[in-house]
Amino acid sequence: MEKKVYIIGHKNPDTDSVASAIAYAELKRRQGWSEAVAAMAGEPNPQTRFVLDRLGIAAPLYLADVHPKVRDVLHRTPVTVNAAMPLLKALELFHLNNIRVLPVIDDTGRPTGIISLLKLSEKYLLTGQDRLRGIDTSTSSLCNCLQGTFLAGEPSGETEHFHLFIGAMLEESFSARIDGYDTASLLIMTGNRRTIQQAAIEKGVRLLVVTGGLAVDDDLVRQAASAGVILISTPHDTATAAWLARLSTPIGHFAEGKFEQIGVAEPLSHLRLKLLYGGEPAVVVVEEDGTLAGIATKSSLLAPIPYALILVDHNELGQAVPGAEAVEILEVIDHHKLGNPPTNQPISFIAAPVGSTCTLVASIYRQQGNEPSQEIAALLLAGLLSDTVLLKSPTTTDQDRELALWLEEKAGVDHLSFGREIFAASSGLASYGSPEKAITTDFKTFTGGSGTFGVGQVEVIGFDEFHQLKNELQQGLIRIKERDGLQLAGLMVTDIYTETTLFLVEGGKALAHVMGYPQLEPHLYELKGVMSRKKQMVPHLLKVLGRL
């Protein structure tokens, strides 16, 4: 089975991460990766939604996490039994399917017990003489296992406890042998010994089995019917019939009613704990409605996870979709600093100091001579223009400018007009729905100084709306700082036309002494010429926080 490959950007996805994921997934599918799927680790921001709607492109698949689940390693065609199935048939299932555990299910498909071959062997074989004589079965199950025929009496599915005796002796010895037992519990097996047959019927035993397929005299059949003795004829010899009788016990009699259980949607780590430390050979896995989904054993933990990741626009697990550390990472395409996790195998890792990941994806298209469609070219151009702020950001390189012109031609749009349309349609703070959403939609955390700090960024056209919402944004920063235990939480509000950022910050009381930029009022700084969080804001904060 071909693995599904999710091509996914960072948490709090922006236009660059979403566009690069969609475009690279399209390229991979062209290259024969039919299971390549564009995904995102969060809800797209207003700008990204505008771009997707503008181009008529569906949003990527949303993945809240990629933690491996029990369903990912489960073999979903379990062999099952019902409680009435005879032990004989269950042993055949163990042998034919080379399995060690059988779940018992009811009529609705829900598990009611579990049969372990090891425990079954211990219970059935390692037993005393009295247990060998005792048989728990129903007359219906017994007759089926013996391939017998009822000569007197009717079959019943109710389990009874029988004491088995073989009538292979003189009638006097036989009668002495069964004295002291409740005749209602006696199961007598004999061959063509009329005296034994008649003695058993006269004593009113519960069940008489005549072996070897031998005929039973009509008068004895009538006598058995009159005395309420069940009479069964079997073609098997007495030794075989005795063995089959012991195997006629309904399997439910051996089922363990208490068993380890887990849901298909639970994390694989929970299953690992149950299998390694629970002391049971298997765990019953159930669907959300409680019906049986399968049986998981320790070998299930060795099954490969049926999906893998390609990371775009990030390479740090702290910014990745939750669970990425437990999934195979096949490739990375990024334009940020390195903080990548170790991998088990060599992978393709593309990291370059350009203004956007879309620049790198576009260059791969061009290098391979793979012409992007008009929609994909426009999408890549949107991501490039977004991350470079219309090619004005200090992160912009000559490669970004060159690829912007190449994509402009393929998309059939003017890149400057297209870029202004994107920012004009999505630059308002109100478009985020709430001040806190405006902060967190593009919010990233970093470690430096004496702790962790976080910085969000929004692009605007003019600061009038910001000043109206400043107090609410400040309260949002306070909540985020406390909730996430941050040393400092800030929001960059960047005017793309004046190329100026207002930095609203909570935390770092002594920050004003080392910030190095004009403080307009408490918690607010003016940073002229600062547009890039990655290349300007974060390096500066790492430096000044190290002084505090």
Say what the pLDDT of residue 124 is: 65
Say what the pLDDT of residue 511 is: 85
Measuring CA to CA, how many Å separate 95 from each of 117, 123, 124, 284, 441?
A: 10, 18, 16, 20, 57
Of 71, 245, 227, nearest in space to 143 by CA: 245
Helix axes 374-387, 46-55, angle to 10 degrees: 160
The domains located in the chain, with CATH, are: 4-67+306-426 (3.90.1640.10), 72-124+253-302 (3.10.580.10), 139-247 (3.40.1390.20), 431-545 (3.10.310.20)
Of 96, 93, 74, nearest in space to 85 by CA: 93
Say what the pLDDT of residue 128 is: 47
Give the three-state DSSP class for 468: helix
* Contact residues for 179 (Cβ-Cβ < 8 A; gap 6+): none
Neighbour tally for 464: CB within 10 Å: 8
Residues of the chain scoring pLDDT < 50: 128-129
Alpha-carbon distance of 479 to 477, in angstroms, equals 5
Alpha-carbon distance of 292 to 109, in angstroms, equals 6
Secondary structure element (H or E) that encloses residue 482, with its range? helix 464-484
**Global model pTM greater than 0.75:** no
Chain centre distance of CA 196? 64
